[in-house]
Structure 1
């Protein structure tokens, strides 16, 4: 199993909406991918707690896949690509970090 974690730091205001509005919409759109992309085994999205440090990330995605190949298919899926384009306009230029690691059984 592969665990894929991605974190974003959102702009305070983007695309005519506040950070809070964009975070809620990004979470909604990401979780909708569970129904569209069969390679996803599990997926959770968490938003940073109000009042946390300004240097913290605002959004975290934790997802799992049966293999690296399935995770790579997920990343190329048109719905995921569209989500990536959507989020790119909302996040800080350097506001993305990620890791993929193998879960030991």
Structure 2
């Protein structure tokens, strides 16, 4: 199994919206990718909650049954088409993949 965890820190304003609005839009876009390929075992998207310590604004925690499944997810047209919006609104991105 392969875990795929990604964090995004968003710009204060981008694409005509504020950070909070863009975080919710990113969550909705990612949630739409939660079952686009076979082999997705876990897929959870969360937006940082006010009042709790957070250095990033949104996180994706996911697990795939194989490297092939993660590759299929990364290259799926539904995932590829949301990448430009993510690039436009993010200030920083951190990612880690690891096998368990």
Q: Which runs of 5+ in 2 are unaligned?
A: none
Residue 4 in structure 1 maps to residue 4 in structure 2? yes
Structure 2 residue aligned with 1:36: 36
Contact 2:43 2:61 in 1 (8 A): yes
Query: TM-score, normalising length from structure 1?
Result: 0.86
Deviations 1:25-69 (A, max 9, x none): 110110111243333222001112214568x11111001100112
Q: Which runs of 5+ in 1 are unaligned?
A: none
Q: 1: CA distance between counterparts of 2:35 and 2:96?
A: 23
Cα RMSD of the aligned pairs, angstroms, is 1.5
Q: 1: CA distance between counterparts of 2:37 and 2:68?
A: 14
Contact 1:9 1:96 in 2 (8 A): yes
State the secondary structure of the residue aligned to 2:49.
coil
Contact 1:39 1:74 in 2 (8 A): no
Q: 2: CA distance between counterparts of 1:40 and 1:85?
A: 23
